[in-house]
């Protein structure tokens, strides 16, 4: 009988196949866990923040349109596939191996497509996803090298000989699990009301901090002439090449419409590049971030337009040639060599030194982006729309002397149902 991957006793290829399945499961669980953590944080301390690099960043994947399908995180499907591979190694049969070989073939096609989308379209790579890619590639290699039918001339035919009965069974199990995952996803969305109340209480319990000695004159949203006059006052320590700062900007775009005339947002330049930010020397991870800050700061009248264009072209902004085109478009080429502009950016970034350490690992309190100071309370990282909206509404209610928002706020979805 021809040798196979799983039917020749306990040999190293079969053991390796088992561990490739386990690796797929672990990587998928971590990916799915991160998806829910990023999109549905349980408390104010779980907000994601840019801490690796602009390219190696899992948040870009967690917030992307391909992170889930109909409310089902892609990690769920990875868990199912990993379980099948591991079970096929533990309980071998010819039909099981042929079916898993078929599944592994299409899985690797999906992996290639996701990898290409991440690298060439998103220009970002999630390390957790990369772990899944690695174990999927290993699994496919084992089926190709040692699976049933290896050595045949028309070798790819052997990947298309699954057990129809097993395929239908696996599809039904996956469908049931997917339905449960959709319900869980909806429950997480609905639970954001209660979570938002908890986050408001946690926000109120945060220690008060002072505003930086220099509040950036570059505001992305302006409701009043004097910063402290607005009900909502946000100082946003931000980096133009931070994926989480992009996400936060997109959330602010929605919130500034809802809270028009009630919110000031000061963009506190904090490039994670040592060239212009000595506070970031421990995390010199975003080459080009200083150049973008210089271009945005050079002409205050054009700041908002340049700010919006950079984030609208987030991936392109990493490339030097795009930054040169941006400078020419707005006539701010002198920004790259203007000492006054450089001093402004560095002075604003240096305010990160003014805060107490929030971690033994890093010297200064402002250590990552985004970091927000909202009405005198510091949030490290970002939050999705609903919790952020809840905090803002509470601040407006307090400013206007109404009953505390914690007691009276009802989600818009619930209000519609009551009508």
Domain segments of the chain: what residues?
12-190, 193-418
* Torsion, Cα of 97, 98, 103, 108 (10° steps): 90
Rounded alpha-carbon distances, angstroms, from residue 408 to 4, 33, 58, 76, 403: 65, 32, 36, 37, 7
Q: Which helix (H) or strand (E) holds 373?
A: strand 371-374
Find tokens 């305010």 and name the residue.
351
3-class DSSP assignment, residue 377: strand
E-assigned strand segments in 74-141:
none
The total of other beta-carbon atoms located within 10 Å of residue 253's CB is: 13
Q: How far is residue 368 from each of residues 42, 61, 202, 222, 356, measured CA to CA in Å? A: 21, 19, 21, 25, 14
8 A C-beta contact, residue 127 and residue 56:
yes
- Give the CATH number of domain 12-190: 1.20.1440
CA gap 300, 266 in Å, rounded: 13
Amino acid 413: pLDDT: 41
Instruction: Count CA atoms closer than 13 A to 366's CA, side-chain side.
Output: 33
pTM of the shown model: 0.77
Q: What pLDDT does residue 404 have?
A: 53
CA–CA gap between residue 156 and residue 143 (Å, rounded) = 11
For the chain, the C-alpha Rg in angstroms (whole number) is 26
Tell me which residue of 220, 237, 278, 282 sits closest to 381, measured CA to CA. Answer: 237
The reported pLDDT for the residue numbered 151 is 62
Cβ atoms of 270 and 280 closer than 8 Å = yes
One fold for both 12-190 and 193-418? no
Q: What is the pLDDT at residue 402?
A: 67
pLDDT of residue 358: 64
Per-residue pLDDT tens digits of the chain, which is 419 residues long: 457 899 988 899 999 999 999 999 999 999 999 888 888 887 776 655 555 666 777 777 888 888 899 999 999 999 999 999 999 999 999 999 999 999 999 999 999 999 999 888 887 888 889 999 999 999 999 999 998 877 665 567 888 999 999 999 999 999 999 999 999 998 888 877 778 888 899 999 999 999 999 999 999 999 999 999 999 999 999 999 998 899 999 999 999 999 999 999 999 999 999 899 988 777 778 999 999 999 999 999 999 999 999 999 998 999 999 999 999 999 999 999 999 999 999 999 999 989 887 666 666 678 788 999 999 999 988 888 888 999 999 999 999 886 554 444 444 444 333 33
Quickly name the fold that domain 193-418 has. Glutaredoxin (3.40.30)
- The greatest distance separating any two alpha carbons of the chain, rounded to the nearest whole angstrom, comes to 84
Which own/partner pairs from 400-405 qualify as long-range (CB within 8 Å, at least 24 positions apart)? 400/231, 405/200
């Amino acid at each position: 009988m021809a040798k196979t991957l799983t039917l020749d006793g306990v040999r190293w290829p079969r053991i390796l196949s088992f561990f490739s399945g386990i690796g797929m499961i672990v990587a998928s669980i971590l990916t799915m866990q991160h998806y829910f953590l990023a999109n549905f944080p349980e408390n104010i301390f779980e907000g994601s923040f840019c801490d690796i690099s602009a390219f190696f960043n899992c948040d870009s994947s967690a917030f992307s349109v391909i992170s889930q399908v109909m409310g089902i995180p892609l990690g769920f499907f990875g868990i199912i596939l990993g379980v099948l591979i591991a079970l096929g190694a533990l309980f071998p049969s010819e039909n099981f191996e042929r079916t898993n070989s078929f599944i592994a073939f299409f899985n690797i096609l999906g992996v290639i497509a996701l990898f290409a989308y991440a690298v060439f379209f998103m220009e970002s790579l999630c390390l957790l996803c990369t772990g899944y890619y690695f174990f999927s590639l290993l699994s496919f290699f084992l089926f190709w090298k040692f699976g049933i039918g290896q050595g045949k001339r028309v070798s790819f035919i052997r990947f298309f000989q699954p057990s129809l009965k097993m395929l239908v069974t696996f599809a039904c199990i996956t469908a049931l699990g997917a339905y449960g995952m959709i319900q869980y996803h909806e429950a997480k969305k609905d639970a954001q009301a209660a979570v938002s109340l908890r986050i408001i209480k946690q926000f109120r319990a945060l220690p008060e901090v002072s505003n930086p000695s220099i509040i950036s004159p570059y505001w992305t949203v302006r409701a009043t002439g004097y910063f402290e006059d607005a009900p909502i006052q946000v100082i946003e320590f931000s980096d133009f090449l931070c994926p989480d700062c992009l996400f936060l900007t997109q959330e602010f775009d929605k919130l500034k419409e809802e809270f028009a005339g009630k919110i000031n947002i000061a963009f506190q330049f904090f490039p994670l590049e040592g060239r212009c930010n000595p506070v970031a020397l421990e995390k010199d991870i975003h080459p080009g971030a200083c150049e973008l800050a210089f271009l945005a700061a050079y002409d205050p009248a054009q700041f908002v337009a340049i700010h919006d264009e950079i984030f609208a072209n987030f991936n392109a902004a990493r490339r030097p040639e795009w930054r040169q085109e941006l400078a020419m478009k707005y006539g701010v080429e002198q920004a790259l060599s203007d000492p006054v502009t450089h001093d402004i950016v560095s002075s604003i970034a240096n305010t990160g030194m003014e805060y107490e350490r929030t971690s033994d690992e890093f010297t200064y309190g402002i250590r990552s982006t985004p970091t927000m100071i909202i009405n005198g309370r510091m949030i490290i990282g970002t939050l999705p729309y609903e919790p952020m909206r809840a905090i803002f509404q509470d601040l407006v209610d307090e400013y206007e002397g109404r009953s505390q928002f914690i007691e009276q706020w009802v989600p818009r979805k619930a209000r519609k149902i009551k009508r």
